[in-house]
Chains A and B, each alone.
Chain A
């Protein structure tokens, strides 16, 4: 019943818990939410099937994301690498149907999403590596319109809120643009405390 309750809970809860507080991995709600987000992208039939599996194995609700991945068939897993603004590579295990922007949020990667995936801003702008860029479906006109406003626009720019992960995109690398104008001249990076 907890699983269906989590499904009924709003996306707002997802955002609330995956955004401001740095270390979410201890909180059981986070795992509920990441499950919910993974499900959100699937078709109705898939969603029901996955839901069922998780209802039956209630332990699945409380596993960390890594071990939940191990329970699922390999076809569902998609490897994604985020490259953050300091150049650090952050590999993430995602599922087919995951939204690349919300996936980044769940892993506390520094990617904003001001308009919440409604193609009304460009804050989730990423660069896609060449090999996978060509595999993405063409952007719709509204995405291109928003991309036009993104600083440091490149040919391989996309809005991550429009990237839905598929098996074909396994290994995709998403780089966060260095949009700041005053990254420290001496290369200083603020230390986490």
Chain B
């Protein structure tokens, strides 16, 4: 049915040339939301375009699989949309292919009419403070990767035998980490959190989580859904500094709706006297969490034997500027907080993939205009975090990916992008990979991994039990 659709439109091109050989071919680097949404838009809009998605890991879906928190399964429903795209007749998925290593971007450009870079942000911003390399200090990227089964983070082994954890940064990732650290294990045990993480969290001594930000309550970076989840987290109570909230209430009426609703909830939790049942609930809660505002990390303080983190020194800030444009300035005061776990959640960061691709070393993105890569020959595009920077939810990336697809299609229509030549597409790349001993994982192979994970999960009352090791994934994929 789907392939007959292709013939209706592209069969008219002429006798003698096989429709598939002469159709426009696009290669997408990265099998996460940006890659899939870009592919979806291309395939839906032009009935003759063939799209191939290359992904380094054997498994697709990127941060939807490895970033979205285990207790947010509805957010992962988008995998069904991506699955439909991957199964479309004019789309194919090739996992276990590392672009930049197994095949170069230049080789991809020779095989395809256009290459879209959608490989996201696998690095993280560093604090740049002494003590950052002590045991007990992790980036949120690694901590999240650990509980979500990213193979690279399998051996993280975070030590949760401390009472206080300090999270630097107040975005949604920081709140996810706080929530996973403090959630009752009974809630987590039926999610797709990895078993080793579940076991570690079950033994955790962490009872208090501070979520630290440089600026004030009005600059809080998380969104209301995540804040509400913390407020309603069973077995926990909020602990905030009321003094941080002076002058906030009177700002409410001039705030735009999303900020207003967020601030109202924050004020309610931080400042208002709770009514009786809530008061009782808080008094009986054994775990606590709170925001600390106007604080920047200066140093992570070592234990007596200098091997691990035992505390953090925070500079006290005040704000300068007005309205949307406020920044933190140190007052000179510092404050030491005892803690055994420091999670730095100050942002992901894209890395350059290949010398042939321009990269902005300051902004850590690929320089582009509306998704068209600048400072290079035609035919190179980008979408998602590597294009705009590592912020935003799935909806943001979706719109962004559609934008890039529109730019690409526009270039095809206008002739800026030459699609008149015949390109080998995946056939060309497969030849190169074979020579280098690289075997791609096709979508049908991923489905075997998917099925195995679901089967193992079922035994434990979880939606899936993720395979944690690339070798194991490949073994299952190619049975």
Residues of A bordering B, CB below 8 Å = 12, 15-16, 19-23, 27, 112-116, 118-123, 142, 144-146, 148-151, 153, 179-184, 188, 190-193
Contact = CB atoms under 8 A, between A and B. Distances in A.
A182 B371 contact: yes
Given A121-B395, A182-B403, A192-B45, 12 more contacts: A19-B84, A20-B44, A20-B85, A27-B1, A116-B74, A118-B77, A144-B261, A148-B258, A150-B395, A153-B257, A181-B399, A190-B409
A148 B257 contact: yes
14 contacts: A12-B80, A15-B80, A21-B88, A115-B74, A121-B75, A123-B394, A145-B261, A148-B224, A149-B258, A149-B395, A153-B258, A180-B403, A182-B407, A183-B406
Contact of B80 (A116, A146, A148, A153): A116
Contact of A112 (B43, B80, B88, B398): B398
Contact of A120 (B48, B75, B370): B75
Contacts of A149: 223, 258, 393, 395
A184 to B, nearest CB: 6
Contacts of A20: 40, 43-44, 84-85, 88
Contacts of B5: 21-23
B80 A145 contact: no
Nearest to B225: A145
Contacts of B257: 148, 153
Interface of B: 1-2, 5, 9, 40, 43-48, 72, 74-75, 77-78, 80-81, 84-85, 88, 223-225, 228, 257-258, 261-262, 370-371, 393-396, 398-399, 402-403, 406-407, 409-410, 413
Contacts of B228: 145
B366 to A, nearest CB: 16
Q: Among A27, A122, A150, which residue has the most Cβ atoms of chain B within 10 A?
A: A122
Given A19-B81, A180-B406, A190-B410, A121 B262 contact: no
Contacts of B1: 21, 27
Contacts of B393: 121-122, 149
Contacts of A121: 75, 78, 393-395
3 closest A-B pairs (Cβ-Cβ)?
A118-B74, A148-B258, A120-B74
B398 A123 contact: yes
Contacts of A122: 393, 395
Contact of B394 (A19, A21, A114, A119): A114
Contacts of A144: 261
Contacts of B396: 151
A54 B177 CA distance: 51
A148 B40 contact: no
B9 A193 contact: yes
A179 B223 contact: no
A114 B61 CA distance: 13
Contacts of B80: 12, 15, 116
A121 B262 CA distance: 17
A180 B399 contact: yes
A189 to B, nearest CB: 10
Contacts of B48: 193
Contacts of A192: 45
A182 B5 CA distance: 30
Nearest to B79: A114
A22 to B, nearest CB: 7
